[in-house]
Structure 1
Amino acid sequence: MAPQFDVLRIIEGFGLAGYWTWEFGADRQIWSPGLRNLLGLPEPDGAPDYDRFLRLVHPEDRGRLDTPIRVRAGTLGQHRFRIIRPDGTLRIVESRGEVLHHSDGRPRAAVGVVLDVTDREQALRAVRFHAARERALAVSGGVFGFAALHGEVMDLPEWRALTGLTRPTIDQGWGRPGEPEGTGALPPPVAAAIAARRPYRYSFTTRLPAGETARFYECGAPVPGEDRGGGGGWAGILVRCPAADGGEHGKEAEGLIGGREIRAARALLAWTLSDLAEASGLSLSTIRRMEEESDAASLRSRRAVLTALRGAGVVFSLVDGTAMAVALAR
């Protein structure tokens, strides 16, 4: 057996390819075993026939293929279409052929190859669907998914468009693509969760290209199995928060956050007094006095505590203009 036929046999062994030939003078056609297998035809199953091949093509795609008359006349192109096997299975295939000519230019034969591209097409369809969904969530809902797997960072085109960040910047800080305003430091409990590969959540404020600021809530979790081999995979979501902390009622709402609300926020986070003191950069006694409302806290200390709590995902919302609700962003 010639080496080229050994190569063809190996390729057809994958079950995703087959070839055919058609000698016009003798009107003799040959279908390779790989093509019969791809078409779902038993062997032997009668003489190969181009018309029979066309009958296996999905009715909606049949008009795109070259007719037998056109093939004999020397026209044979490249096509992607669906076939329906005798058992009802639908596959997506791609065909490419060539017409061979006599020395006087008359067509004498045609040869072609058929490839099963079903898995590739389905994968591309899934990618397109995922991209469309990501765009819709980002544009309509301010929701951005992110992932870092096998050492590679998922591109975030919608996030880049919103924040003006470059791809290299996101690559360097994928878990926190919008650097928090100020020092950019993560709250200690959040940093500890990331170091220990535990799920985390917090919120941060970033400055947008037009100069305004926006608050985002971030939730991330390690991807199971990705921590083996030293890679460390993560996936999560970024959600743009409504402007509940600012706005026309922002200062009024701030004044309603007292010791009870701070204790509730700390309980939601399962933080100790020491955790809040560390996250806010204040002393333990200051935090205790603030929660007990035994002493008027300075504006700076108050802001430090609220910034730490909000940075960990706590949302303070004014209800009916008189009460303060405390919740975790989700």
Structure 2
Amino acid sequence: MRAADLSFAPADFLRLTETAGLTGNWAWVFASDRQTWSPGLHRLLGLDPLQVPPSYALLVDLVHPDDRLHLASAADLMQGYALPEREVRVVRPDGTLRLLTMRTELHMSPEGRPLAAAGLVLDVTDSAALLRLRRADLRRQSAWFAAARMLFVPVGLDGRFRFPPETARFAGRPIEEINADPFADVVPWERAAFRDSIARRDVGGVFQAAPLIHHRNRDPERYRVLSVPVRDERGCLVERNGLVYPAALAVPVAVAGLRAGLEQAVEGHHLRAARALLDWSMTNLAEASGLSLSTVRRLEENAEGQGARSRHKAIAALRQAGIRFVLLDDGEVAVARA
């Protein structure tokens, strides 16, 4: 597996590999000189995020001297020049050597002026660990399907669907055909309307539908399709995570990638409503979630990015106190107290 392969991996798998310390990412906005590193990058490099601030220059310095020519310098990036994906050795502060693949992308203005750079880093020192994680992820998805005919379907920013292998056995046609035309199993009299609803959806919003699907050798059955956008910590859209399950199931299983996208739909007014139901002040929420008061205030003012970890911490604290965030059929979020 290479860093380029991760560009097409589901966000849920990326989070799994980052938690295991195998991947990380970074970003640098040139005008403000704002640099960010994911927690996974700090772990991968053996650095303490509380002690070491993000710095592309530091990242280059950690690369083995013989491999530094394979990376663009900080000055190169600011001038709009980045080398393709490279495999380099990195020497951690404790002296251990890791083999990494690093992929860098530049973001340019319409006039061709470099605005920012971002990178994805993958530890390939132990490729067997990556393979074990991928197999565990596939086993988990197979268990969802076996238990309730529930399919977790990521959709890339290019609009391409990535149905799991179980879909082919259930639908009775090759997975390549299903990914190429995911609408073919919708009954003919609903197919055009369903396809149009997908095309008209708000790319940054939650989408729901309930098409009638006719798989081979099975009677037509109503399925529920739930699709949510997933953003990274910088607020950039990563992909859409979808769940397809029989409409007879009242509530879908809480899939990690899906839960993350749904929680990102919770806005400031939802948090204020939740506090009101609990008769909490912002200070109460800050103490319960382990966040600062200023962070809670930014969340309630929608000043924090949609993918900010602080949002998930606040929601977890509210859930622990008995608050439920319920997705309605029109994609809006309702707040209730259990």
- Shorter-chain TM-score: what band? 0.3 to 0.5
Relative to the length of structure 2, the TM-score reads: 0.33
TM-score scaled by length of structure 1:
0.34
Q: From the CA coordinates, give the structure whose radius of gyration is larger.
A: 1
